[in-house]
Amino acid sequence: MSTEAPAKQPWAEPPPWIRFLRKHIWVIGILFFLTMITAMRPFLIRRPPPPEAIGEVPAFTLLDQEGETFTREELLAADKTWVVGFVFTRCASSCPAISGAMLSFQEQIDRSKLSDRVELLTVTVDPEYDTPEVLAAYADSLGADLDNWRFLTASQEAIEDFVVGGFKLAVGEPKVVAGATAGDVGVFDIAHSSKLALVDRYGNIRGYYSIDEDGLAELYHRTLRVIRIEEGE
């Protein structure tokens, strides 16, 4: 009787897909990792909360560049987000930059297909001079799209209530610029804020933003955030 141990049977050859996995295990692992990171990215993004309400737009009655009244009730009924700037047409200092920044912002809103959800308001701080007709000419000189941009004036008292009382922004007294001659655009100066205010659809003031590149970028993203939160996105 033989005492030799039975010969071992060779293992069967693994199927092709197993051989492929073994050969390319590192490549497959990297691709799997990248795929998982991409799929999880929306869950990893930290979405900052919308800017807190820091005030409320008071009741007001102003006139737009067409001479039509514009009130707080109409602002709320429009169900839009608002960006508000303060200028006067005879200004030769900061106002051209403010209006230029608002024009750039309007163009960005148009490119983003948000012009039906965001409206711009330019409010004069020189209402005795800036009549609706003057504001209409000013808007035309800027090339402003009046479909979602209004230029507003009123009595001196109403403007002060709106700007100082509502937005808590200081407005100085008109003064003659040294060396200016009568008829010059910049013959008068009025100290006022150059920041743009963000107002939500409920009339809450959400913040003030500078008109430089960084400020406009922040204003744009804050505007988007306010819209998305309010619409439940």
CB 194 within 8 A of CB 98: yes
**Residue that has been written with the tokens 């009787």 in this structure:** 1
**24 labelled as ligand-binding?**
no
Q: How many CA atoms lie within 13 A of 107 on its CB side?
A: 10
SS3 of residue 189 by DSSP:
strand
Q: Is 135 annotated as ligand-binding? A: no
CB 91 within 8 A of CB 77: no
Q: Is 91 annotated as a binding residue?
A: yes
In sequence order, which residues have a C-beta less than 8 Å from that of residue 56 and are 6 or more positions away? 166, 203, 204, 205
Contact present, 209 and 222 (Cβ < 8 Å): yes
Virtual CA dihedral for 174, 180, 185, 188, nearest 10 degrees? 0
The answer for residues whose C-beta is within 8 angstroms of residue 167's C-beta and 6 or more apart is 55, 57, 84, 86, 197, 205
Length of the chain: 233
Q: Around Cβ 126, how many Cβ atoms within 10 Å?
A: 22
Residues annotated in a binding site for Cu cation: 91, 95, 192
Residues annotated in a binding site: 91, 95, 192
